[in-house]
């Protein structure tokens, strides 16, 4: 027996452009899609016997191939603009996500069994259905306010919002790609403090930020309500908070 594993390098392209004009900033970015493809190839061969004296098949072979996509990040492009005032900063961008190219995450299976002279085979599983996702447009906005300006002590407040519609279609058949529209709210506080004793030449920077995501209610109606899954409803909430401390040199 032996195992042959191959880990290939993967490269993706990211291109960005920034234009500045007075207090305005305009930007554009494009990111290539990423796919983590897992391919398993199992090849087993040997002799099939009923007892040490009676060999039914001199040599038999079983070959299995499994191909699936474990991770997918869609191709995307964003256009954005930002305005910076004396104590305020506003930003707005609109992004396109190419979810139409989302491949099925269900493994495609190939089986081959040779037990000559016996005639024996395995029924292949049904081919996975295409997900039929759609492309989506995602708007985002953010605001930053310097509440307390100062070289020795300063406070900056931040907030943001985004709306991401679900790219998944209804699931009346045997697939279950569960997803809903998302509303995201973000917040942040940053405090800059300069040591008056002069031990640190530059300010300490402490920040707290968080994001709340609301997944709206979505009802999934099946063509066969008596099937193994039946009708169901999806909804949810997500909250994440983090804190950072930076020492500038």
pLDDT at 60: 67
What size, in residues, is the chain? 249
Total Cβ atoms within 10 A of residue 167: 19
In angstroms, the CA 199 to CA 71 distance is: 47
Question: What's the angle, vertex CA 13, arms to CA 12 and CA 14, rounded to 5?
Answer: 125
- In whole numbers, what is the pLDDT of the chain averaged over residues? 87
**Within 13 A of 82's CA, how many CA atoms are on the CB side?**
15
Under 8 Å between Cβ of 75 and 32: yes
221 preceded by a cis bond (ω within 30 of 0): no
pLDDT at 50: 61
Under 8 Å between Cβ of 198 and 212: no
The predicted-structure confidence for 77-107, as pLDDT tens digits, reads as follows 999 999 999 999 999 999 999 999 998 888 7
Torsions phi, psi for 99 (to 5 deg): -75, -10
pLDDT at 7: 78
Tokens representing 38? 């897992």
The alpha-carbon radius of gyration of the chain (Å, integer) is: 28
Q: Is the pTM of this model over 0.85?
A: no
């Amino acid at each position: 027996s032996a195992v042959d594993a191959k880990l290939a390098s993967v490269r993706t392209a990211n291109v960005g452009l920034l234009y500045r004009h007075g207090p305005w900033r305009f930007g554009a970015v494009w990111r290539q899609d990423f796919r983590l493809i897992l391919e398993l190839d199992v090849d087993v061969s040997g002799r099939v016997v009923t007892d040490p004296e009676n060999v039914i098949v001199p040599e038999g072979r079983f070959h299995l191939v499994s191909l699936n996509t474990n991770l997918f990040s869609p191709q995307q492009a964003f256009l954005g603009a930002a305005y910076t005032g004396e104590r305020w900063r506003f930003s707005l961008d609109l992004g396109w996500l190419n979810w139409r190219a989302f491949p099925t995450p269900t493994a495609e299976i190939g089986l081959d069994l040779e037990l000559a002279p016996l005639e024996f085979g395995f029924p292949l599983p049904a081919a996975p259905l295409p997900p039929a996702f759609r492309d989506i447009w995602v708007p985002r906005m953010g605001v930053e306010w310097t509440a307390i300006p100062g070289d020795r002590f300063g406070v900056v407040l931040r907030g943001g919002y985004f709306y991401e519609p679900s790219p998944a279609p209804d699931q009346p058949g045997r697939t279950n790609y569960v997803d809903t529209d998302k509303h995201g709210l973000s917040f942040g506080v940053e405090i800059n403090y300069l040591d008056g004793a002069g031990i640190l030449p530059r300010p300490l920077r402490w920040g707290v930020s968080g994001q709340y995501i609301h997944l709206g209610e979505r009802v999934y109606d099946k063509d066969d309500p008596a099937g193994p899954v039946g009708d169901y409803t999806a909804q949810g909430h997500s909250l994440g908070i983090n804190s950072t401390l930076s020492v500038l040199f």
